[in-house]
Amino acid sequence: MYFNWGAQHSYIYGNGDNINLVLDKSAGSGVQSHRAFLFGSIEMLIKLVPGNSAGTVTAYYLSSTGDYHNEIDFEFLGNSSGQPYTMHTNIFTQGKGNREQQFKLWFDPTTDFHNYTIHWNPTAVVWYVDSIPIRVFRNYRSEGIGYPDEQGMQVYSSLWNADNWATRGGLVKIDWTRAPFMAGLRRFNARACKWNGPVSVFQCALPTPGNWWTSPVYKQLNWDQQGKMKWVRDNYMIYDYCTDYKRFNWKMAPECYKPQY
């Protein structure tokens, strides 16, 4: 990865395995992968901004470019001291998003590094936190529902000022007396198919031993994984676009009526 903005006040340390993203009044900071990928497993260990992080957002996501881009998101919305972070997830297909699901975390994400993984193959996208699946978005392209299977995506992470919306809808602003704010990244690991242009759409989806993400074991969560995901969603999920009937005027996205896991 390399810094794509804010490098002047952020830093890499520990044999290049660790990055501290920094936000102060002058700017935030961000990194991105040199390569783009199509399918596989994208992992990062992240330690979020401690203390009063209200108004800050730490983002970790995959994205292509252009008006019809694909994107798979983790975003961590800071909060006032003592309040839990909100973990925000979303997925864009061919430029269309509005598929937010939000969770409170069941641990303090600021005291240690935790594993956040996006696992993505021709069957489904799965978001994991410390190996626990929290969300699945299945491929229903054959039924006219968009799916991110035709564009390579680079990996990005950033720490930025979002106090116009991040905490209580923008009511709570950043307390700049607590700056600089820091988030730690460690051991970025892309066990994924490298994007080499349109030929990769075919090559990365081939069910071969080298394309381990196409193995049948990754087509469906096992019973243990489903049980853990149900526990998270029953106890820690605080928003699901599929149940926000007022926002969408009862015209819900078609995938909301499909089994996802």
Which residues are designated catalytic? Answer: 71, 75
Nearest Cα neighbor of 112 from 55, 50, 162 is 50
Instruction: Write the CB contacts of 97 (distance below 8 Å, at least 6 apart in sequence).
Output: 71, 90, 91
- 133 cis-preceded (ω within 30 degrees of 0): no
**DSSP state letter for 179:** P
Measured on CA atoms in the order 164, 170, 171, 176, is the torsion positive or negative?
negative
**DSSP state letter for 254:** G
Complete DSSP assignment for 34-97? EEEEEEEEEEEEEEPPPS--TTEEEEEEEE--STT--EEEEEEE--STTSPPEEEEEEEBTTB-
- E strand or H helix that includes residue 3: strand 2-5
Q: What phi, psi does 34 have (nearest 5°)?
A: -65, -35
CA distance 27 to 102: 26
